[in-house]
């Protein structure tokens, strides 16, 4: 007789789910246990820091990996990765100010340096000295800012669908138009305008409901946070001079169909970082972790297993 066992991990203490599965398999025998499927339960917490509340999601247990979200999404975009945490790792995904379900309560105007300092403060609160830290797109810009502030905090880095250089004149003009759009027509209009650029053509055709999930995340963002983040991105420094100083193992991931931060930008960035590897996900656009959750999770787990 065989049956399926689903192990839900909801606690960061005690045996890890894989250890538990192995123990059960050993005591029940292989005939009794044909499949152990590990499903990590995602915890949602809030940390009160300097008079503000930072919501964060986390799952797994072990060495920390911090994942910073794209603009104008929130920590929920990392749910597919939080469900696929490799054994021995603890994934943490915070909301940035003004994004996520607490958006309305947040003072939103913040520079990328302030957003990075928020991440540092959350790590202090969680008593994490060093972690693998990374982000997707704007999350990557915040990763660079945190690296400039606290390089010793990085035991590894993940740069997904992001770029090191500043905006082109056309990019800056697009950002000013986006500020006007947010101010006059709100987050829903920003979602309409951004969605075709965020999702690759293949994923849009293959997974039509993904656009609804992304739209729902964008619509929770507060308009001041959207405008504040755009202004912060306009004012961001050139991170290219920092690339050669990144000494920790680094994973650069990019979707083959990414338009805002294309493969060429990712390859240029990876060429400047000593201990780095580049993974290009086929038939995937800018939101590569949502469009190809399995491929993205595999890239991360391979990187963690072989470098750290």
Alpha-carbon distance of 20 to 73, in angstroms, equals 35
| Chain centroid, CA 176 distance in Å | 25
Q: Which is nearer to ligand MLT, 86 or 94 (CB)?
A: 94
**Going residue by residue from 138 to 157, which x/- string records binding to ligand MLT, judged by CB under 6 A?**
x-------------------
Counting contacts by CB under 6 A, is residue 237 touching ligand MLT?
A: no
Residue 137 near ligand MLT by CB under 6 A: yes
In the list 54, 233, 254, 281, the residue contacting ligand MLT (rule: CB under 6 A) is: 233
d(CA 66, CA 193): 29
Interface with ligand MLT, residue 70, by CB under 6 A: yes
Specify the length of the chain in residues.
308
260 binds ligand MLT (CB under 6 A): yes
Q: 60 or 224, CB closer to ligand MLT? A: 224
CB 158 within 8 A of CB 250: yes
Instruction: Tell the smallest beta-carbon distance from residue 163 to ligand MLT (Å).
Output: 8
Q: How far is it, in rounded angstroms, from Cα 219 to Cα 236?
A: 24
Q: Is 296 in the site for ligand MLT (CB under 6 A)?
A: no
Minimum distance between the CB of residue 161 and ligand MLT, rounded to whole angstroms? Answer: 7
What is the smallest separation between the CB atom of 27 and ligand MLT, expressed in angstroms? 47
Q: CA 35 to CA 28: how far, in whole Å? A: 12
State yes or no: residue 112 binds ligand MLT (CB under 6 A).
no
Quote the CA–CA distance of 240 and 58 in Å, as a whole number: 31
Per-residue tokens: 307: 């470098």
Cβ at position 121, least distance to ligand MLT in Å: 21
Asked whether position 182 contacts ligand MLT by CB under 6 A, the answer is: no
Q: Count residues near ligand MLT (CB under 6 A).
A: 7
Give the per-residue SS3 of 157-204: EEEECCCCCCCCHHHHHHHHHHHHHHHHHHHHHHHHHHHHHHCCHHHH
Q: Where on the chain is the footprint of ligand MLT (CB under 6 A)?
A: 70-71, 137-138, 233, 260, 286
């Amino acid at each position: 007789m065989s049956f399926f066992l689903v192990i839900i991990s909801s606690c960061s203490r005690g045996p890890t789910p894989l250890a538990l599965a192995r123990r059960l398999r050993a005591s029940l025998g292989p005939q009794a246990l044909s499949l152990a499927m590990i499903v990590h339960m995602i915890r949602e917490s809030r940390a009160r820091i300097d008079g503000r509340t930072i919501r964060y999601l986390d799952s797994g247990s072990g060495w920390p990996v911090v994942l910073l979200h794209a603009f104008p999404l929130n920590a929920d975009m990392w749910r597919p990765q939080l469900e696929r945490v490799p054994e021995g790792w603890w994934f943490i995904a915070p909301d940035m100010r003004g994004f996520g379900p607490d958006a309305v309560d947040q003072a939103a105007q913040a520079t990328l340096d302030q957003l990075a300092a928020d991440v540092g403060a959350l790590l202090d609160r969680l008593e994490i000295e060093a972690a693998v830290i990374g982000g997707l797109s704007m999350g990557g810009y915040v990763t660079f800012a945190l690296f400039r502030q606290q390089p010793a905090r990085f035991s590894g880095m993940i740069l997904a669908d992001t770029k090191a250089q500043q905006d082109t004149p056309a990019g800056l003009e697009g950002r000013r138009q986006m500020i006007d759009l947010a101010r006059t027509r709100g987050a829903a209009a920003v979602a309409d305008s951004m969605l075709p650029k965020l999702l690759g053509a293949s994923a849009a055709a293959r997974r039509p409901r993904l656009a609804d999930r992304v739209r729902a995340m964008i619509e929770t963002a507060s308009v001041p946070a959207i405008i504040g983040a755009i202004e912060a991105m306009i004012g961001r420094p050139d991170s290219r001079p920092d690339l050669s100083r990144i000494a920790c193992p680094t994973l650069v991931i990019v979707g083959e169909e990414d338009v805002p931060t294309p493969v060429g930008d990712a390859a240029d960035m990876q060429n400047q970082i000593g201990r780095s590897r580049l993974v290009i996900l086929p038939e995937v656009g800018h939101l590569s972790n949502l469009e190809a959750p399995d491929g993205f999770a595999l890239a991360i787990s391979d990187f963690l297993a072989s470098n750290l």
